[in-house]
Structure formats: structure tokens, C-alpha cells
């Protein structure tokens, strides 16, 4: 069985763990992505802290890292429009802007950015730290100390 390095919330309580997990096979309409860089964001910080928000939404064990850059490693049998080796990225907050969910998400981000700018808050640079995977704990510490808004982890070389 082949394995991959993951950042995983194993159970309730503060903290996170670097461990290995089995490399999954993609379902027929999915792709498997080899992650090169993963972002630690506010959602991950909630999960790390295990606050009320995380406790009410997250069911450990859970591999974190929903913002990433990588390459397609394997294709599901129905995937015809993509190719192995193709560079891809994912960020769960970008929507089409159509439909009730898409409009709400877009309006929320726009209002947040407008509020920050009107009140003299600096929104650049958002990414201030790029760390090796083994330094994931340091990334969370920097975010908790308000020294970083988003941290990038080098997952594979």
C-alpha cells in the first residue's frame, strides 16, 4: 500500500498531527492530486484550536488542507478533459457568483474586503510565511500570535 504525508486532526482537542495515510484511488468522476503547496487558513486554525466552531462542525479524523496547488496524479475512468501532470489549484471560497449560495459567498467576501479597506486595515500581504511541512505547528503559532493571516506549507518536493 502506498502512503502520503498528511496534516490530520486525529480527534477532539487542541492540536494537529503530521502522519501518513493511504493514497486513495480516485472515483470515476474525480482526480487524485499530488499536493505541492497547501495553505493553512482560518478554518484550519479553528480546527487546530478545537473551538466551539470546529467542535460543532468537524468530525475527526480529518485531513486538513482545502487550499492547495499541485499536479494531477491519477484520473478517474470518466475524466476525459484533464491530464496526468496538469497543474491545478483549489480554493473553497471561490464561487460562480450565481445561485443563492454563490451570491452570498461573493457578497460576504466583498463586504469583508470593503470593511477592511474603509477602516484602514492592511490586507496585503496575506501570505507572510512559507514553511516546510514539518513546521506546521509553527504556522499555527504564528497565526495565533497574529503574525500571519495565511501560511503555506511545502508538502512535496
Q: Which residues are catalytic?
A: 43, 46
- Reading the block at residue 100, the C-alpha cell is 443563492
Terminal Cα-to-Cα distance of the chain (whole angstroms) = 21
- Interatomic CA distance for residues 143 and 11, integer angstroms: 21
- Interatomic CA distance for residues 41 and 27, integer angstroms: 27
Number of H helices, E strands in the chain: 4, 8
Query: What length is written for the chain?
Result: 157
For the CA atoms of 87, 39, 133, 17, what is the dihedral angle to 10 degrees? -130
Amino acid at each position: 500500500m502506498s502512503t502520503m504525508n498528511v496534516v490530520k486532526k486525529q480527534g477532539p482537542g487542541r492540536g494537529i498531527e503530521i502522519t501518513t495515510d493511504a493514497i486513495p484511488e480516485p472515483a470515476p468522476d474525480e482526480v487524485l492530486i499530488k499536493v505541492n503547496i497547501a495553505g493553512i487558513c482560518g478554518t484550519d486554525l479553528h480546527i487546530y484550536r478545537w473551538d466551539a466552531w470546529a467542535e460543532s462542525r468537524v468530525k475527526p479524523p480529518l485531513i486538513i488542507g482545502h487550499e492547495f496547488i499541485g499536479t494531477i496524479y491519477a484520473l478517474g475512468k470518466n475524466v476525459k478533459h484533464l491530464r496526468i501532470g496538469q497543474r491545478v489549484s483549489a480554493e473553497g471560497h471561490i464561487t460562480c457568483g450565481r445561485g443563492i449560495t454563490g451570491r452570498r459567498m461573493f457578497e460576504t467576501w466583498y463586504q469583508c474586503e470593503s470593511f477592511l479597506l474603509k477602516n484602514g486595515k492592511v490586507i496585503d500581504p496575506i501570505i507572510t510565511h512559507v514553511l516546510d511541512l514539518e513546521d506546521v505547528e509553527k504556522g499555527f503559532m504564528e497565526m495565533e500570535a497574529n503574525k500571519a493571516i495565511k501560511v503555506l506549507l511545502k508538502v512535496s518536493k
